[in-house]
Structure 1
């Protein structure tokens, strides 16, 4: 019986050491889907914010002649329809552009994916804003 108690204490202590040595992670990843302008495509673009490592990924999901675009707003949020920066993917359908940033843990991040033409600056067909936490 005594050996079982000692073994149990050793296992519990080892578990506490492992947990205390692990970094805290309490963020939230999110996705935004841009609207489609072509029948047969359910969306024109797919934007993602991955909270672990603060990665932004933007995929062109439809061969429609438009580039994928994503607006990003980072706390403190811009007023009105403001945003902090834009990510473009002009590499064609099926391609993904990845951008890495660094934010303090707990920072709010909102994304909105859409379609556009980078050379003219014309854009639209945005989906909903979705917000996560770094």
Structure 2
């Protein structure tokens, strides 16, 4: 019986050492979409947060004359619909995505909401739903 107890303790210790030396676990990626008002377009905009490297990418998904924009709220979250910053993609639907690199502590919550607007005036609207991930 003592052999089995010793073997069990040894397996448990090896598992703990393996866990302690493994790299940190990645967070949760998130993708959000802004609704389109133009027939034939599923979405006007999209944004993706990649938890590995904390990279935000904003896409203009519809040639509707509007730029893509995303609001970002990072924990601790703002109250009353607030957010920490926003990212525009004025490159049009045929242009390139806009990428922004940030750095957050592991486990930090990140929420986003995609919409569209007029880049030159800063007017925006047509927001999709907020969705959250973690760094």
Same fold (TM over 0.5): yes
Alpha-carbon distance in 2 for matches of 1:26, 1:90: 31
Q: Which residue is equivalent to 1:120?
A: 121
Output aligned runs, 1:6-85, within 5 Å.
Answer: 21-85=21-85
1:123 match: secondary structure = strand
After TM superposition, the runs of 4+ consecutive aligned structure 1 residues lying more than 6 A away are 15-19
2:31 match: secondary structure = strand
TM-score when normalising by structure 2: 0.83
Q: How many residues align?
A: 121
Give structure 1 stretches of 5+ with no counterpart: 1-12
Deviation (angstroms), 1:18: 7.5
Per-residue displacement from partner, 1:13-55 (whole Å, max 9, x unpaired)? 8x99876544112410011100102100000001111101000
TM-score when normalising by structure 1: 0.83
